[in-house]
């Protein structure tokens, strides 16, 4: 028995240009179907006729991120009011510069500071410049909490000036703990001997982002100078300021005032804030929390437990958002016009070769556009290609333990060959996942892939770069051979995928044909290759279409196979180069 569900209303405002998807599922999670609409600022409806079974549910997607599970049909979803998920791969591989005081440095356990733990957990490259005892205000103290602290010239601005000019992907800093001292007469618990200046008499005034000169003997002046010099030295690099927790190690009124000023200044200067003070319950004015969460049970320095429970969740969220919304960073050698290629398919597109033996891509040949992890920048093309482009519930090529399956692909060889034969730079987009069938691509993964293509085109447009040729390099079919898929089913599924690519602006599809099942190494399973032959023949027939061409094939590389399905790097290099030549010839004709 079938029934018609009430329609789901979808409306966009801020994201008026976005395509929105609705996917309907059986209770067991099996996909029933997908509908899509372009929401041009008006309400749209997506309707299904589905089995009338209990537990049927719908998911709404935007940017190809899951926005919400819906069981109450007839509900209107305002996608501009929903916050898109940010991939947990956004921080992976990024370089971060860390400035500030002992809260960032880690006091006497720097290996367990929150920034070191973040860099380890997310495989970031951390450059630590923070120092114990560093202050915002450029005034020396005659007292130090740690024998390793400098009492002269230990200012955060000095860290900025001594750091290299090479830009990181993101900057994180803190500062005001070592400034939070008052009048010795009233701040007797923390400044009774007058070793520190009374910061309440040296607050200064906020000037705002138009200022270029600063009084570094005042808190506001010195804090604004830190931000100003960071922005001057590393233009367009996102910056995150971290507030300290509610601390029992400093005067309460003073720390509250300095935090208020710091947050206000960050707002004036466009700096993101990871507000540990406001957004967590860590309050070491409570003796029990002081004992549990502070190094040695006293002072201001969070221990590993505090870092993991309170600091890291707030700081990583702020870092991810800052990177995702940062201004675009364009390579200096980018051309006025750039071609776009989406490298899509399954594991032989992701690559199971050896990065060390891959073709080294010419720095001028092209760039990787990381639609998932870094949508506001372009990167040199290196192997393994697509290393950070895994999206949960989308195209992801990782093992159960989170490690990557990508090890070396044909992409560098393709980009190098394409540039050498055409002189045209290529913007390469990763959209591959091992073990995927043509049916899965038709029903699910194509929507992630075309969103990455759309994002790539939008990136060039927004940054004044002309979009040249747009095409797809496709390698997929082994899973369909394993599943004994018929030629007709494979053809219908694949053409449906290709049609969606073309509808999103791809001019042509360059297919890399499926090779043999490795019957030499696995003779007991040689019958599987008969099923692969069905897929190879279907692919050749598909390439009779005016939109699709057979650019290269793995069929002649059985001697280069390393397991049942995959090849050594030599094969990926040769096939990538051959496919590039075919693409170059096609566009010259």
Per-residue pLDDT of 161-208, as tens digits, reads 999 888 899 999 999 999 999 999 999 899 888 889 999 999 999 999
How confident is the model at residue 8, as a pLDDT? Answer: 37
Q: What are the residues whose beta carbons fall under 8 Å from the beta carbon of 261, sequence distance 6 or more?
A: 203, 206, 219, 220, 223
Range with top average pLDDT, 40-49, 385-394, 435-444: 435-444
How confident is the model at residue 373, as a pLDDT? Answer: 80
The CATH classification of domain 2-81, taken from the options 2.60.40, 2.60.120, 1.10.20, 3.30.70: 2.60.40
Reported confidence tier of residue 410, pLDDT bands at 50, 70, 90: very high
Q: Which residues on adjacent β-strands are paired with residue 127?
A: 97
Angle at 231 between CA 229 and CA 234, to 5 degrees: 100
Residues 54-102 have pLDDT tens digits of 555 555 554 333 333 333 333 433 333 334 444 456 788 889 999 999 9
Q: Is 334 left (phi over 0), alpha (psi -120 to 50) or beta?
A: beta
The pTM (predicted TM-score) of the whole model is 0.63
More confident residue, 58 or 3: 58
> Rounded to an integer, what distance in angstroms lies between the CA atom of residue 324 and that of residue 175?
24
Q: What are the residues whose beta carbons fall under 8 Å from the beta carbon of 55, sequence distance 6 or more?
A: 26, 27
Q: Which residues on adjacent β-strands are paired with residue 9?
A: 45, 76
Q: What's the whole-number mean pLDDT along residues 569-580?
A: 98
Does the pLDDT value for residue 127 go beyond 70?
yes
Domain segments of the chain: what residues? 2-81, 95-324, 339-588
How confident is the model at residue 143, as a pLDDT? Answer: 79
> Rounded to an integer, what distance in angstroms lies between the CA atom of residue 428 and that of residue 342?
6
For the purposes of burial, counting CB atoms within 10 Å of the CB of 485, is it exposed (0-12), middle (13-18) or buried (19 or more)? buried
How confident is the model at residue 388, as a pLDDT? Answer: 81
Residues 508-519: b if buried by 16+ CB within 10 A, e if exposed: bbbbbbbbbbbb
Neighbours of 231 (CB within 10 A): 17
Does the pLDDT value for residue 48 go beyond 50?
no
Q: What's the whole-number mean pLDDT along residues 22-45?
A: 55
Reported confidence tier of residue 263, pLDDT bands at 50, 70, 90: very high
Reported confidence tier of residue 150, pLDDT bands at 50, 70, 90: confident
Reported confidence tier of residue 446, pLDDT bands at 50, 70, 90: very high
How confident is the model at residue 123, as a pLDDT? Answer: 87
Q: What's the whole-number mean pLDDT along residues 313-334?
A: 88
CA of 58: how far to CAs of 31, 209, 395, 446, in Å? Answer: 10, 46, 20, 18
How confident is the model at residue 38, as a pLDDT? Answer: 53
More confident residue, 124 or 75: 124
How confident is the model at residue 50, as a pLDDT? Answer: 43
Does the pLDDT value for residue 15 go beyond 90?
no
How confident is the model at residue 207, as a pLDDT? Answer: 97
CA of 422: how far to CAs of 386, 413, 456, 575, 586, in Å? Answer: 24, 14, 21, 18, 11
Does the pLDDT value for residue 17 go beyond 60?
no
CA of 421: how far to CAs of 413, 583, 587, in Å? Answer: 12, 10, 11
The answer to whether domain 2-81 and domain 339-588 are alike in fold is no
CATH fold for domain 95-324: Rossmann fold (3.40.50)
Q: Which residues on adjacent β-strands are paired with residue 34?
A: 23
Neighbours of 209 (CB within 10 A): 14
132 and 104 in contact (C-beta within 8 Å)? Answer: no
How confident is the model at residue 56, as a pLDDT? Answer: 56
> Rounded to an integer, what distance in angstroms lies between the CA atom of residue 300 and that of residue 302?
7
How confident is the model at residue 548, as a pLDDT? Answer: 96
> Rounded to an integer, what distance in angstroms lies between the CA atom of residue 71 and that of residue 8?
10
How confident is the model at residue 80, as a pLDDT? Answer: 35
Residues 325-340 have pLDDT tens digits of 777 778 889 999 999 9
Q: What are the residues whose beta carbons fall under 8 Å from the beta carbon of 136, sequence distance 6 or more?
A: 155, 156, 175, 176, 178, 179, 219, 222, 223, 226
How confident is the model at residue 55, as a pLDDT? Answer: 53
472 and 501 in contact (C-beta within 8 Å)? Answer: yes
Q: What are the residues whose beta carbons fall under 8 Å from the beta carbon of 127, sequence distance 6 or more?
A: 95, 96, 97, 98, 163, 164, 168
Q: Give the closest residue to 369 by CA, choosing from 313, 422, 329, 406.
A: 329
Residue with tokens 């992907």: 169
Which range is least confidently modeled, 78-87, 338-347, 363-372, 458-467?
A: 78-87
Residue with tokens 């702020």: 318
How confident is the model at residue 328, as a pLDDT? Answer: 75
Does the pLDDT value for residue 409 go beyond 50?
yes
Does the pLDDT value for residue 348 go beyond 90?
yes
Length of the chain: 589
Reported confidence tier of residue 49, pLDDT bands at 50, 70, 90: very low
373 and 92 in contact (C-beta within 8 Å)? Answer: yes
More confident residue, 143 or 461: 461
Two tokens at 520? 């030499």
How confident is the model at residue 25, as a pLDDT? Answer: 58
Q: Give the closest residue to 180 by CA, choosing from 107, 106, 243, 226.
A: 243
> Rounded to an integer, what distance in angstroms lies between the CA atom of residue 132 and that of residue 154?
9
Q: What's the whole-number mean pLDDT along residues 246-265?
A: 97
How confident is the model at residue 116, as a pLDDT? Answer: 96
- Per the prediction, the chain carries an average pLDDT of 86
How confident is the model at residue 286, as a pLDDT? Answer: 96
Q: What percent of the chain has pLDDT over 90?
A: 70
More confident residue, 584 or 147: 584
Q: What percent of the chain has pLDDT over 70?
A: 85
> Rounded to an integer, what distance in angstroms lies between the CA atom of residue 26 and that of residue 4?
14
**What homologous superfamily does CATH list for 339-588?**
SGNH hydrolase (3.40.50.1110)
How confident is the model at residue 12, as a pLDDT? Answer: 35
More confident residue, 92 or 464: 464
How confident is the model at residue 235, as a pLDDT? Answer: 80
How confident is the model at residue 257, as a pLDDT? Answer: 97
398 and 89 in contact (C-beta within 8 Å)? Answer: no
How confident is the model at residue 85, as a pLDDT? Answer: 43
Which range is least confidently modeled, 162-166, 453-457, 464-468, 555-559?
A: 162-166
More confident residue, 86 or 414: 414
Residues 517-563 have pLDDT tens digits of 999 999 999 889 999 999 999 999 999 778 999 999 999 999 999 99
């Amino acid at each position: 028995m079938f029934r018609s569900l009430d329609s789901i209303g979808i409306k966009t405002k801020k994201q008026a240009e976005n395509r929105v998807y609705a996917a309907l599922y059986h209770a067991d999670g099996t996909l029933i179907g997908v509908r899509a609409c372009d929401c041009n600022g008006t309400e749209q409806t997506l309707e299904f006729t589905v089995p009338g079974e209990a537990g049927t549910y719908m998911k709404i997607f935007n940017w190809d991120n899951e926005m919400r599970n819906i069981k109450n049909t007839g509900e209107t979803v305002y996608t501009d009011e929903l916050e898109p998920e940010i991939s947990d791969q956004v921080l992976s591989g990024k370089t971060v510069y860390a400035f500030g005081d002992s809260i960032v440095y880690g006091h006497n356990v720097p290996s367990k500071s929150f920034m070191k733990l973040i860099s380890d957990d997310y495989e970031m490259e951390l450059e630590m410049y923070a120092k114990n005892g560093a202050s915002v205000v450029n005034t020396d103290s005659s007292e130090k909490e740690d024998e390793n602290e400098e009492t002269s010239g230990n200012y955060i601005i000095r860290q900025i000036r001594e750091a290299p000019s090479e830009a990181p992907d993101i900057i994180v800093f803190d500062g005001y703990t070592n400034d939070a001292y008052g009048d010795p007469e009233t701040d007797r618990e923390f400044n009774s001997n007058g070793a520190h200046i009374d910061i309440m008499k040296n607050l200064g005034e906020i000037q705002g982002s138009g200022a270029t000169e600063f009084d570094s003997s005042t808190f506001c002046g010195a804090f604004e100078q830190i931000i100003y010099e960071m922005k001057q030295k590393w233009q367009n690099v996102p910056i995150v300021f971290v507030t300290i927790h509610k601390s029992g190690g400093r005067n309460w009124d003073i720390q509250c005032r300095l935090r208020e000023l710091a947050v206000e200044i960050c707002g004036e200067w466009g700096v993101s804030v990871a507000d540990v003070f406001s957004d967590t319950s860590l309050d070491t004015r409570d003796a029990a929390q002081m004992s549990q969460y502070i190094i040695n049970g006293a002072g201001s320095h969070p221990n590993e437990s505090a870092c993991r429970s309170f600091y890291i969740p707030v700081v990583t969220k702020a870092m991810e958002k800052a990177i995702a919304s940062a201004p675009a960073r364009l390579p200096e050698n980018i051309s006025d016009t750039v071609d776009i290629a989406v490298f899509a398919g399954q594991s032989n597109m992701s690559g199971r070769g050896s990065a060390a033996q891959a073709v080294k891509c010419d720095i001028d040949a092209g760039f990787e556009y990381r639609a998932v992890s870094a949508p506001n920048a372009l990167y040199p093309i290196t192997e393994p290609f697509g290393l950070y482009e895994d999206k949960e519930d989308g195209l992801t090529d990782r093992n159960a333990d989170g490690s990557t399956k990508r090890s070396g692909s044909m992409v560098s060889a393709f980009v190098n060959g394409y540039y050498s034969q055409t002189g045209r730079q290529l913007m390469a987009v990763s959209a591959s996942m091992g073990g995927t069938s043509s049916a899965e691509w038709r029903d699910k993964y194509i929507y992630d892939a075309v969103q990455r293509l759309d994002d790539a085109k939008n990136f060039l447009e927004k940054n004044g770069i002309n979009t040249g040729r747009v095409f797809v390099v496709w390698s997929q079919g082994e899973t369909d051979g394993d599943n004994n898929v018929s030629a007709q089913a494979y053809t219908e599924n694949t053409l449906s995928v290709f049609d969606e690519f073309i509808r999103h602006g791809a001019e042509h599809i360059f297919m890399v044909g499926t090779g043999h099942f490795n019957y030499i190494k696995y003779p007991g399973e040689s019958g599987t290759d008969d099923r692969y032959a069905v897929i190879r023949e279907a692919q050749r027939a598909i390439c009779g279409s005016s939109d699709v061409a057979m650019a290269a094939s793995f069929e002649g590389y059985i001697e280069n196979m390393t397991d049942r399905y995959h090849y050594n790097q030599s094969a990926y290099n040769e096939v990538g180069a051959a496919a590039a030549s075919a693409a170059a010839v096609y566009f010259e004709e």
